[in-house]
Amino acid sequence: MTNIAIVTLDTLRKDSFDEYFDWLPGIKFENVWSPGRFTSTAHAAMFCGLYPSELGVNSRSKDLATDRRTIAEILTSHGFRTTAISANPLVSPEFNFDRGFDSFYRAGRTRSSRPEIFDWASEIRKSTRSGLSRDIQLMYKCIRSDSNTAKSLKFGIDLKLNNIYSSIEVQNILKRIDFSENEFLYINIMDAHAPYTPPKEFQTVGYQEPSISERMGGYSSREITAQKEAYTNSIKFLSKQYKKIYNTLARDFDYIFTLSDHGELFGERNNLIRHMLGVPPELVHVPLCISGPELKNRNESPNRSLLEIYPTILNLAGITKESRGKDLLNESSEEHYLTECNGLAEAFRKQLLESNMTEKELSKWDRSRQGVTLSDGGYLFQNYEGKEEATQQAESSNQTISNVINKLNIDYCETSGGKNISEGTIAQLKDLGYR
């Protein structure tokens, strides 16, 4: 009997993982590449074993609407109990990422999507008041609503005080679950994601959330330094909390996959911040560690891809399914892997235009960009000017991105329109900078 857990430490950069998660035992893969630069694309690939463009998932179509069965759906059909705990609104039932899970728990700010919790996020955005007047108005609405008043008021106060930490909530949820045999668990923790507000004892710098235009290259070097310090403070907090979560999981799970779906920019490329677009290494070179009592500590250096989570987990469960990639534990790597970004999210594009960016300026950013790994261990990608740029290992290569992509035989899929999303989920996505 095999119990398997995947934990996504959302937005955790590879260099930050190396510095603050050196305590984590297991096999550490040094050159893992995320198929996409943000949550939806990375998770679609992990859950389905294909590239995002083959699944119809991208920055303008975040819904997992593919006919291909997910890991959870396959494991459920083979007798596994499947559980998800997600603090990310993109990995949620609203976008079909609950497919195959017997139980789906919401953590962090996504708690506002629970039916018993008052929808503070959407009501805040609707309100025309500010300060104390708005607080009183919203509390009155909360008390008069059909929601659970006590739970809703506590959640509202936590929101107001920035006192919501998904790593702590995950620990509390895990305490309520009795794990047995043949368990599959997925967890998403958002404490490394902006707005970078760890508990006060971890804060060493004042950090102001950037405006839309500032995210696109308008941040000063002083502000970027403060942002990076605030991020690092969040990582230190996350490392401490995840050690507790890991120790809890290690009691019940044979294999624990600890990874990040994407990184974060701090002005390294065109003075950009966050993870709004593109496929530079800072965004798509991600950490992955597989831990288990039978796995000795070691480092693996060949290029790998997050989509190989899919065949690896199915093989551990004794299930064979066709997919991209190879088993991370038992097979050598592919020669090439793809990373992709199809431009800006439509809502973000609209916000940039509203912030006085012209269509001409916007067109410079709103382009598809791709990257590929090379057999020599290097990485070749399209930078923000549209030119091909190579990591140091790939500088002597004579290959081009288009030549490598032709070898991959990508079966591109049409995107779906997706489902109608609630106002509360939209508000959460805006707070995270996704819309």
Please return the burial class of 306, using the count of CB atoms within 10 Å of its CB with bins 0-12, 13-18 and 19+: buried
Per DSSP, the residues of 343-400 read ---HHHHHHHHHTT--HHHHHHHSS-EEEEE-TTS-EEEE-TTS-EEE-GGGTT----
Summarised one tens digit per residue, pLDDT across range 167-206 is 999 999 999 999 999 999 999 999 999 999 999 999 999 8
Q: How far apart are the first and last CA of the chain?
A: 42
| pLDDT in the model for residue 429 | 47
Across the chain, mean pLDDT equals 89
Summarised one tens digit per residue, pLDDT across range 300-325 is 999 999 999 999 999 999 998 889 99
pLDDT category at 218 given cuts 50, 70, 90 is confident
CA distance linking residue 93 with residue 246, whole number of Å: 25
Residue among 62, 10, 89, 6 at smallest CA distance from 264: 10
Q: Domain-by-domain residue ranges, the chain?
A: 4-432
CA distance linking residue 298 with residue 295, whole number of Å: 9
Topology (CATH) of 4-432: Alkaline Phosphatase, subunit A (3.40.720)
Which pTM does this prediction carry? Answer: 0.88
Which residues are within 8 A (CB) of 432 and not within 5 positions of it... i.e. 6 or more apart? Answer: 89, 193, 194
Q: Is the dihedral of CA 401, 402, 407, 411 positive or negative?
A: positive
